[in-house]
Structure formats: C-alpha cells, structure tokens
Amino acid sequence: MLSNDEEIAFSVDEMTGIQALERIAPDLALAPGKPLAREFEYKRHGTQTLIAALRVAMGSVYAHCGETRTEEDFCRFIAALIEHHPGYRVYHIVVDQLNTHKSEALVRLAAALSGVHSDLGVKGERGILASMDSRAAFSPATISAWCFHYTHDMPRG
C-alpha cells in the first residue's frame, strides 16, 4: 500500500461553450443606501473551453482555458497536470466516459511516459488503439504514475 505522499488523485472534467463577455460600461460604485450598479449589456468575444482538475484531497484546482476541446487539448492538459505535480508514484485521474478521455493521443502519452516502445496498433483496427474500450484498458505496469478511473453513465429511465 502506498502512502499519501506517493499518490495523488484528481477529478477532471471540461466545460465547453463558456461565453467570453466584456461589460461595455464600468460598474457604478456603491454609495450609502445604494447597491453596486452593473450594466447588463456586454460585448461578445466568442466562447472558451475550460478543462479543470480538482485535487481531491486538497480542494485545489488546476485549470486551462482554450479555444477547443480536442483529444490533443485533453492530452496536453494531462501531461501538464502531471508535470505541475511531480514526484508521485501514482496519479489517479477520475474522468467520465467522454471519447477524448479514451483517445489515441492519451494512450500514446501513457506509453511515452512509461517507456513503452512496442507497437500500439492502429486506431479502429488492431492492438491497444483498436477501440475506446481497449484504449481505456491500457495501463502499462511500468508507469506506476498513470491510473485512469472512469465513472459509469447513469441509466436513464
């Protein structure tokens, strides 16, 4: 069993389509008996995607805002998350069933971090890269620092 200083746990998720808004007028200051007045009109600056990791034991958040939410974006986020929290033997990462969480890029990152140089197969055809299930199951024993935990979708009814 590992001690607390050897493993770390994060809950990771994304939020897409966050509107980047700018108020067109400054707030009017508080005055005795008068609340802060905020203009309701704004200028749109498109949307952003937030990828965030909650460090479960500490309640701290590591986050990134960007233009897109691709498998490469998520993979870069996970690599940076591990880089910004060095020295642990096991990184527990809790994610939902989104396809980017079971991507080719993520398997390739795990292989690179673990020193696995064997053939990973071909996405959609064979080997570890054959399917989302085979990619999700990939957890090379040599990379003790990599452990994804997938939440289960709740049945709808």
pTM of the model: 0.78
**For 2-27, what is the mean pLDDT?**
88
Mean residue pLDDT across the chain: 86
Fill in the DSSP letter of residue 137.
H
pLDDT of residue 136: 83
Q: Examine the pLDDT at 58 and tell me if it is beyond 60.
A: yes
Question: In the prediction, which pLDDT does 139 show?
Answer: 66
User: Any residues with CB less than 8 A from the CB of 32 and at least 6 apart, and which?
Assistant: none
Q: Which two tokens stand for residue 33?
A: 């008996």
CB-based contact 108:120 (threshold 8 Å): yes
Strand intervals (E) in 24-146: 42-55, 61-66, 90-95
Cα distances (angstroms) measured from residue 134 to each of 15, 86, 102, 104: 26, 28, 9, 10
